[in-house]
Amino acid sequence: MSATSDTTETTGGPSLPQRRRLVTEIPGPRSRELMARKTAAVAAGVGSVMPVFARRAGGGVVEDVDGNSLIDFGSGIAVTSVGNSAEAVVRRATAQLEQFTHTCAMVTPYESYVEVCEELARLTPGDHRKKSILVNSGAEAVENAVKIARYHTRRQAVVVFDHGYHGRTNLTMALTAKNMPYKHGFGPFAPEVYRVPMAYPYRWPGGAENCAEEAAAQVVEQITRQVGAENTAAIVVEPILGEGGFIVPARGFLPRIAEFAREHGIVFVADEIQSGFCRTGQWFASEDEGLVPDLVTTAKGIAGGLPLAAVTGRAEIMDAAHSGGLGGTYGGNPVACAAALGAIETMRELDLPARARHIGEILLPRLAELAAKHPVIGDVRGRGAMVAVELVRPGTKEPDPAATAKVAAACHAEGLLVLTTGTYGNVVRFLPPLVIGDDLLHEGLDILDHALTTL
């Protein structure tokens, strides 16, 4: 089965017709009933983008409990890149479930853990000797990257960027830029975290053409004067910023930062949790500018929907911590490892980096057309299947989160699952499963066009 043809069936998992179909209003009666139960039983802090409950999902669609079939432009926040219940993921995870579910990698290890680490060494940028640790979530991966960098350098400071997002645990809240909803009320936060400017071309005061150079100069100046390069353990950056608004740093900025890190013995950490594993048209977004990070954090797309995350990096850095210093009960769970091997197999077999580029070639020109037609679109950006539009008050760059919420709601009502993002809440992002058919992509864009028209 080819991922590029407009198949009516999915590339694996449940045989779901690959079409949008609305049989009730959104949300339907069954979803409304479940939402009442959710409200009664689940903590209010756990939100829902769409008030519909999922029953099945596969290929480019999510089917709800009322039988509505939604076009999926979210992939469960950039996770199901290989599609939901991808054949190889289900096959390998099922086989593992029948063998054993857990022994704990720190008690009696198993081959699949090692195999995932071997794959990570092969797939992440650079041909130096690499090692990995497996954990459960993206936040936990970032925490471990910081622990490892601190141990290796014997330094404490961690430098992060405006608009950065790295998780919701205490340390990663400190690393995350945006207050609401991630940090508000949850302090105090971990110390020794310093935030520096991001080269955000659309909003750079000196203009997009000067953005890379000016932003890099400010970063170097701030680290040098305010933190001290000699006190800095790590610089942690997303090669394309996810929750900050799908910001693609101005070309040249990241290489300059990586060079500064190298000159001063600072561990350069690429957080590829959202941008990694084929999403941007390459295995890792760092490759676009030839970056070779010292450490790479991965999660989301790595295991086709099962919880798994990793830190991968230079063997001498990864080996710094004492034996027993890193770990966790469930890290690298065998079922999640089997799923990851199935997901990686699928990415290779279907050449999902190429497929992500193909998706970008459909999305980006059509979004540019929409921008010409709808002045509310201030910027179109992204790479591969990680693209977005930023909405502003026409004729200005003033963020318009209200219009953004309206557009998303109108898309949802028509059966298109889109997510919003961004520091200003004014970005609509597109993160389809990489196995989605071209017809669904076009139909989704038609719905978006209509939603913008009826603003």
Binding site for ligand PLZ (CB under 6 A): 77, 137-139, 142, 165-168, 238, 242-243, 271, 273-274, 299
Strands (E), 306-452: 309-314, 377-383, 386-391, 416-417, 419-421, 427-430
What's the min distance (Å) between Cβ of 30 and ligand PLZ? 26
Nearer to ligand PLZ, 31 or 75 (CB): 75
Distances (CA, A) of 119 to 60, 130, 132, 423: 27, 10, 10, 34
Listed residue (290, 301, 294, 226) closest to 262, CA to CA: 294
What's the min distance (Å) between Cβ of 182 and ligand PLZ? 7
Evaluate whether 437 touches 6 at the Cβ level (below 8 Å): yes
Q: Rounded CA gap, 216 and 214, in Å?
A: 5
**Helix orientation angle between 111-123 and 334-349, rounded to the nearest 10 degrees:** 40
Q: Rounded CA gap, 258 and 149, in Å?
A: 15
What's the min distance (Å) between Cβ of 165 and ligand PLZ? 5
Distances (CA, A) of 178 to 44, 197, 241: 20, 14, 12
Tokens of 99: 């063998």
What's the min distance (Å) between Cβ of 193 and ligand PLZ? 15
Nearer to ligand PLZ, 242 or 437 (CB): 242
Evaluate whether 267 touches 149 at the Cβ level (below 8 Å): yes
What's the min distance (Å) between Cβ of 317 and ligand PLZ? 19
Phi, psi of 243 (to 5 degrees): -65, -20
What's the min distance (Å) between Cβ of 140 and ligand PLZ? 7
Nearer to ligand PLZ, 162 or 443 (CB): 162
Q: Which residue is nearest to ligand PLZ (CB)?
A: 138
